[in-house]
Amino acid sequence: MTADDLKQKYIDFFASKGHTAISGSSLIPQNDPTVLFTTAGMHPLVPYLLGEAHPGGSRLTNCQKCIRTGDIDEVGDVSHLTFFEMLGNWSLGDYFKEEAIEWSFEFLTSKEYLGFAPELLSVTVFAGNENVPRDDESVRIWEGLGIPSARIYALPMEDNWWGPAGQTGPCGPDTEMFIDTGKDACGADCRPGCRCGKYFEIWNDVFMQYDKQADGGYVKLGRHNVDTGMGVERTIAMLQGKASVFETELFAPLMQRIAQMSGRDAQADAVSGQAFRVIADHLRSAVFIIGDEQGVLPGNLGQGYVLRRLIRRAVRFAKQLELPAGFSRQLAETVIESYRKAYPELERRHAHICTELAAEEERFEKTLTRGMAELNKVLENMKKHGQTVVSGRVAFRLYDTCGFPLEFTEEICREQGLEIDRDGFDKAFEKHRSVSKQSAEKAFKGGMADHSEMTTRLHTATHLLHKALQQVLGEHVQQKGSNITPERLRFDFSHPDKMTPEQIAAVEALVNEQIERDLPVSYKAMTLEEAQTAGATALFSGKYGEQVKVYSMGDFSLEVCGGPHVEKTGKLGRFKIKKEESSSAGVRRIRAVLQDA
């Protein structure tokens, strides 16, 4: 079975269970200030999980492209990826645990679908705590399907609980499914979730049945949702009996191309194997980020910084394999060829992807030159003072500030008979990583979608802003991203030039005029084709015939959207643009607020 077969079987299976197949969304989240990329299949569906009606109904299924960058430096083993595809099915107040688990088991073990032997399947459930009881219902369902209690593991909240979208809100236990790879257990405590590789997680069913309160307590929800996710790469590796996701057809062309360019074998040694995997993962991720419908470019902030880190880490490992200059363009061609049918936007943006990758690779070469100059100053100063050990703090500064890889510093120092204080470097690195991780976790747990009154007002205002920009600057203006908190909105849009003060004033006045008109805000469900014919603003990249919500604001704005909105524009207050600046090449950024009228 190929990955394409798996995706089609999954969609067909859940369609047979009454699910509507919907399109995946952009890798760049819209109207979500808390995460840089779409991290899971449920991410674009948060408004509907929180209660909004979805035009596709209460049962949905799709395949979503995702990016996770919680710890880029860990990527390079046999299973962790930065970019991946996630299959999912959702129940929005429809079915619950019984059907979700039974269908998961059927799809996994039925000969008609994946055909895994039931005896290879182990599962985990929520163990319960002082606030919420153990998920005995899931245990009962699994046992009823023939999974013995010895292969049902009850684990704590950090393992089997999906947190709320904000500090408060819908949340609940989950049950995760693992395939036993046949490897020996690492010890008496070996269980699903262990890092030894014996158990390979491929699916997760989340049951949103509680509402977390401000005081930390949990109250049962009246409406229950199901949110599930199956990783394509991991599942296909298990189906094909591969020891690594990098051995599947999803990565084979890339790995072969790297081997041809380097003249090396990925299996030759551990160092080469890691280099092959990092380059393949990071270049694939970079292609999808740049090639996304709302793709970003390498930069020093936000998504651009993550993209830059991915490309430069790939360059670093490419030097280990002695890949030729311009390798990133050649590998991008391989990725695009492999995915162009499933993701036609990559083919459309082919030249753009290759150009940007090559440019960033060249920029990093210059960075390395600057790093060498800085390192030479350090070494010269050390010789003057008779020092033989480069401090960890200095090595980390070269790494963090100059982007100079530690391995390069170590190699150069060895050649000159010097050492590096690795303990000092590791401590500085861990401190840096801990701070970064805490910030990322805080942002992630801080909410995948804030539906507060102020955020709803600001989201509504982005519709008016988008249309006003098109009227003042021209129809070429298209939304390239937005970031909304209860305090302000940030709106990125395509436009080649800095806006003049007169243009900014005109946009501001036009938005406030629509607010003063107190326009009604309403939506109609229609197909993408009908929305396009009606002149609605949107990225028309979904499935033919797919139902979407089209929001109108009187006779002024018509836009495809799934976010929260006020009922009338008069509730917004006074719109004020605080700043207009460059976001990236050809993209401008507006920061604005709503003030009391």
- pLDDT tens track for 181-196: 989 999 888 999 888 8
Q: What pLDDT score was predicted for residue 442?
A: 40
Q: What pLDDT score was predicted for residue 500?
A: 96
Q: What pLDDT score was predicted for residue 556?
A: 96
Do both 50 and 131 map to the same domain? yes
With contact defined as beta carbons under 8 Å apart, do 577 and 548 qualify?
A: no
Q: What pLDDT score was predicted for residue 343?
A: 94
Q: Which pair of structure tokens corresponds to residue 443? A: 């942002």
Q: What pLDDT score was predicted for residue 444?
A: 38
Do both 342 and 397 map to the same domain? no
Do both 430 and 460 map to the same domain? no
Q: What pLDDT score was predicted for residue 437?
A: 52
Asked which of 205, 226, 246 is the last residue of a domain, the reply is: 246
Place of tokens 């050492």: 419
Q: Which helix (H) or strand (E) holds 395?
A: helix 392-400
Do both 47 and 69 map to the same domain? yes
Do both 285 and 151 map to the same domain? no
What range does the domain containing 403 cover? 388-449
Q: What pLDDT score was predicted for residue 483?
A: 81
CB atoms inside a 10 Å sphere around CB 487: 11
CATH code assigned at 233? 3.30.930.10
Compute φ and ψ for 535, nearest 5 degrees: 90, 20
User: How far apart are alpha carbons 582 and 589 in whole angstroms?
Assistant: 6
State the DSSP code for 533: H
State the DSSP code for 520: B
User: How far apart are alpha carbons 354 and 356 in whole angstroms?
Assistant: 6
Asked which of 202, 222, 246 is the last residue of a domain, the reply is: 246
In a domain, 382, yes or no: no
Do both 96 and 233 map to the same domain? yes
pLDDT tens-digit map of 425-480: 988 888 876 665 554 444 334 323 456 788 889 999 999 999 999 999 999 998 88
Calculate the average pLDDT of the chain: 88
More confident residue, 584 or 211: 211
In a domain, 378, yes or no: no
Q: How many CA atoms lie within 13 A of 323 on its CB side?
A: 28
pLDDT tens-digit map of 31-89: 555 678 888 888 788 778 878 889 999 999 999 999 988 667 667 776 789 999 999 99
User: How far apart are alpha carbons 120 and 114 in whole angstroms?
Assistant: 13
Mean pLDDT value of segment 483-487: 82
Q: Are strands 574-584 and 587-595 parallel, antiparallel or unpaired?
A: antiparallel
Least confident of 68-77, 138-147, 274-283, 397-406: 68-77
What are the strands, taking DSSP E only, across 189-341?
199-212, 218-231
Q: Alpha carbon of 420 to those of 15, 82, 88, 230: distances in Å?
A: 58, 30, 47, 43
Q: Alpha carbon of 313 to those of 333, 370, 520: distances in Å?
A: 19, 17, 50
Total domain count, the chain: 4
Looking at the chain, the whole-number percentage of residues with pLDDT higher than 70 is 93
In a domain, 10, yes or no: yes
Asked which of 200, 227, 246 is the last residue of a domain, the reply is: 246
Q: What pLDDT score was predicted for residue 165?
A: 53
Do both 149 and 63 map to the same domain? yes
Q: How confident is the model at residue 316 (pLDDT cuts 50, 70, 90)?
A: confident
What are the strands, taking DSSP E only, across 93-198?
121-126, 152-155, 161-162, 169-180
User: How far apart are alpha carbons 159 and 585 in whole angstroms?
Assistant: 42
Do both 35 and 56 map to the same domain? yes
Do both 236 and 279 map to the same domain? no
Q: Alpha carbon of 250 to those of 46, 241, 245, 253, 254: distances in Å?
A: 29, 14, 8, 7, 8
Please report, for the chain, how many H helices and E strands are present, in that order. 18, 18
Mean pLDDT value of segment 358-375: 87
SS3 580: strand
In a domain, 466, yes or no: yes
Residue at 184: amino acid letter: D
Between CA 311 and CA 318, with CA 313 as vertex, the angle to 5 degrees is: 90
Q: What pLDDT score was predicted for residue 477?
A: 92
More confident residue, 281 or 30: 281
What are the strands, taking DSSP E only, across 323-426?
389-390, 419-420
In a domain, 375, yes or no: no
Strand partners, 280: none
In a domain, 354, yes or no: yes
Do both 472 and 556 map to the same domain? yes
More confident residue, 443 or 514: 514
Do both 589 and 524 map to the same domain? yes
